[in-house]
Structure 1
Amino acid sequence: MRIVSGRSGSPSITASGTFTGQVLQDPVITDRADVKINTVLFTPCSRTYWHHHEHGQILQVFRGQGYVCGGDGVPRLIGEGDTVWIEPGERHWHGGTQESLLGHTAITLGGTEWLEEVSEEEYAAAAVTTGALDAPGAS
């Protein structure tokens, strides 16, 4: 058994390389090969690159609103209290909406393979597809 207490008090890590925009991470469990747990805060418009996980991923949203887009290419709106299961090997991305932060706990099972950046067109289409209130031109 292992109990991991809340934040250590150390500064959050600024994620880079496989993220667009400002993304902050707080490691929870990162010393295992089979599971990694991080709390992640996406500022508005920030997001991951396309990627997939060897044995899947669980996202538990604790703050704000965001998008998750899977292998079917259909973005979905997620918000506080939502839990997302992403199948092993499923190509996907996730991040904040145009006007909202997204905070989630990411439980990653096995390795992660990072792919290409989510294009501005793909990201902008998420607001239209989901009917998000913060979609450009929405009222």
Structure 2
Amino acid sequence: MRITRSSIDTVKGPADWFTGDVYIDAVAAAPDPSRVTANLVHFMPGARTHWHRHPLGQTVFVTEGVGLCQRRGGPVEIIRPGDRVLFEADEEHWHGAAPNRLMVHVAINEGDADHAVVHWLTPVTDEEYAAAPVTS
């Protein structure tokens, strides 16, 4: 058993990964041979990831607020607390907060043999984001 006391500062999500204000808290980064990581990600209203993909997929678990997600070519979906979203391996997608609500989720990822967890792509355009259904 290992207890890690909270000592890591909250990190602002970098602009080359996110649009808007996003804050990240590390939850799990298990030592080798494990390749699993988890982060608690806070999206302010309107904030979102860029398009991206994960070599071994990603699961997000919504804990608070109202969010949006989309896989490339699919509709924009509304996600709420308790929802789990599985993005398949190498499926291009994005996720973030609704325009009028914050959203918090736990992002669970596994690195591949080369330790790659995510491949960042282009920003989600305002037009793509605006295609979301109305949230309330």
Length-normalised TM-score, structure 1: 0.84
Q: Identify the residue that residue 13 of structure 1 maps to in structure 2.
A: 11
Following TM superposition, by how much is the alpha carbon of 1:74 offset from its aligned partner in structure 2, in angstroms? 1.1
Q: Identify the residue that residue 124 of structure 2 maps to in structure 1.
A: 118
* Aligned partner of residue 131 in structure 2, secondary structure: helix
Aligned mates of 2:2, 2:76 — CA distance in 1: 36
| Between 30-39 and 106-115, the greater mean CA deviation after superposition | 30-39
* Aligned partner of residue 46 in structure 2, secondary structure: coil
Can you give the 5+ residue segments of structure 1 that lack an aligned partner in the other structure? 134-139
Number of residues paired by the alignment?
128
Can you give the 5+ residue segments of structure 2 that lack an aligned partner in the other structure? 112-116
Length-normalised TM-score, structure 2: 0.85
Question: Identity of paired residues, percent?
Answer: 39
Does the CA contact (< 8 Å) of 1:4 and 1:28 recur in 2?
no
Point out 4+ residue stretches in structure 1 off by more than 6 angstroms: none
Aligned mates of 1:90, 1:74 — CA distance in 2: 14
| CA offsets 1:15-70 (integer angstroms, 9 cap, x no match) | 11210000000011236572221000000000000000011101010000000101
Q: Identify the residue that residue 54 of structure 2 maps to in structure 1.
A: 53
Does the CA contact (< 8 Å) of 2:57 and 2:86 recur in 1?
yes
